[in-house]
Every structure is written in C-alpha cells, then in structure tokens.
Amino acid sequence: MNKQFLTIDGQISKIKSNGISIKDEQETKKTLQENSYYNIINGYRTPFLHLHDSKTYLHGTEFMEIYALYHFDRQLRDHLLSYLLEAENMIKTQVVYAFLNSQDSSGKYMHEDDAYLRIESYEHGQNKRNLKLIAQLQRLISDSFESSDSITHYLSTYSYVPLWVLSTRWTFGDVCNFYASMTSQDRQAVSSIYKIPDDKFLTIINILSFVRNHCAHGNRVYCIRKLYDFPVLNPSLFPVQNRFGITNHGKHNLLNVFLALKTILSEKRYKELLRKTERDIETLSSRINVIGVTKITDIMGIPYPINAIE
C-alpha cells in the first residue's frame, strides 16, 4: 500500500500509537508545522529504540526529546559548515598559490599564462587523471562564461582565464582533484605548511570535502559514517590520535572530522569550534532524559567533556 498523507493531527496520533509520549500537544503541533515529521522521526529515532527491537521505543520516550536530538544535529551541522568553509578557503588559496608560484622545466613560472591547461604542468605518470582534470577545468570555464563577469572579462580581453580567477568557481571537490594532480613538489609546498606528508594531506582534505558537501545538503552529521580512514600522523606533532587508538586507519565517525579540522584550523578557531560543540552537547543533555547524552557522544565518537581532543 502507498504511504498516506497525514495531517498534523494525524501525525500526532501516529506518534502516540508508536509508543512515543507527548507532554505538550500544542508545542508538538507547532514543532510539526515548522519541521518535517519525516525528518524528525525517521531521521533521529534510532537512539531511542530498544537495541534488539527496531520498532519499539524505550519506555518514557517523549517526542520533544527526539526533536531535541534533531535540533542538536542541525546546530552541529551549521557550526561545522562554517568552519569547513573556512578550511576550504584556506586550502584553496594555498593550493593555487603553490601551483602559480612554481616553475616548469624551462624555468617559466606557472602564473605567466594558462599553464594549468597543459598536461606537463602536472605529476608525470598519471596522464589519465591529469587529462580528466584539464577537461573539467575547460568545462568549468565554458559553463561559467555567462554566469561570471570575471571569467567573461578575461576571456574577452586576454583570451584565457587566470587560475586565481577560475578557482573562485571551484568546489571543495575541485580543490582535492587539482591537488591530487599537482607535482609532488607542489603538493609538498602545501602540505608542509601543516607538517603533514602530501599523501596524508590529500586524505585529510578528502575527508573535509566529503563532510562539507554532507553538511551543505542538510544530511545528518552526528552519526556520519563512510568517511575516509584518518591517516596516522607524526605522534610528536599530533599526539591526540594516540589517545583514541588511531594507530592504523582511524575511526569512521565524527571524530575523524574534528581531527581533520584540527590539522587545518588555527588553534584559536579550533578551540572555538570545540566550545560551541560542548555547549550544544550540554544543551542536549538537559533536554533528553530517557537516554544519556553519552549515548549520542559515543555515536559521534566524541569524548565528553570535549577538551580531550584539543
């Protein structure tokens, strides 16, 4: 049978019939009028279900507690996205600078023309990847011709688009693809800023790119999975990984994201993110009773108190 449309009153009835209590019906109605029933219940019910029965809620589960987790995740996503965009801009700037500040085999600087559209400007031995990248860059120029005044101006005036102009149209994924094709010398010019080997730096920015897109599309963040393995870094420079057993390939949860951001952001900005996250966790803790907040932080992979990952 097809799923039937439910009015707000119908949604209230279904919530009750599923064994979820409602303390304030008017508040619940207002919440359902402003937020999707599907997003709240289907997206955030799992921690409130019996471990061995995916259809039965824990005794005492109340609708506004499920909503509290939904609201917490939305706040977490907004905070993370802000810092991910900051990291994206930093990495993009450094990648473009490293490429343009390098020289080709004849000693000509890459910033002097459209060298980024020549295969010899990239790492030797990976022509298939490099040709695919160049095709993507050419397509981006073509697609941006009418929508970007800057690109229109440079094409019309100089017949080519400087990389620093084209990069304003890049996604985080574009940054990762460009970095992967750069020569090892150019990659190391970027990764050395963070004291990380270039191959491991690529893994880190791929993690950040995946989560940035995940956040931008409004997906759940607190229970995120399917992340790249977090690389093992120099323990003397990055001791926090040893405290969480990251000795071979890391954890596939939100901890990966925080550790990746830790490698990129300034200490001040990273601590700001931790403080905001901790406040959000404390607020969630005051709003859920049927489960402890550590059940949520365990899913996240984040310690509570959170200062253990400073």
**Alpha-carbon dihedral angle through residues 271, 277, 282, 286, given to the nearest 10 degrees:** 170
205: pLDDT strictly greater than 90 = yes
Give one word for 74, left, alpha or beta, with left for phi > 0 and alpha for psi -120 to 50. alpha
pLDDT, one tens digit per residue, over 213-251 is 999 999 999 999 877 777 778 777 777 766 666 544 446
Mean pLDDT, residues 11-20 taken together:
94
pLDDT, one tens digit per residue, over 33-87 is 999 999 999 999 999 999 877 789 999 999 999 999 999 999 999 999 999 999 9
Mean pLDDT, residues 184-203 taken together:
95
**Which residues lie across from 62 on neighbouring strands?**
21
The CA-CA-CA angle for residues 92, 95, 98, to 5°, reads: 145
What's the CA gap between 42 and 237, in Å, rounded? 42
Mean pLDDT, residues 266-279 taken together:
95
pLDDT at 248: 43
- State percent of the chain over pLDDT 90: 73
Sequence spans of domains, the chain: 23-102+194-310, 110-182
pLDDT band at 305, cuts 50/70/90? confident
pLDDT, one tens digit per residue, over 96-131 is 999 999 877 667 777 777 889 999 999 998 999 999
Q: Which amino acid is at 207?
A: I
**Which residues lie across from 21 on neighbouring strands?**
62
Helices (H), the chain: 8-17, 25-34, 37, 43-44, 63-100, 127-144, 149-158, 163-166, 172-181, 184-191, 198-216, 240-243, 254-264, 267-287, 293-300
pLDDT at 241: 67
Q: What is the pTM of this model?
A: 0.90
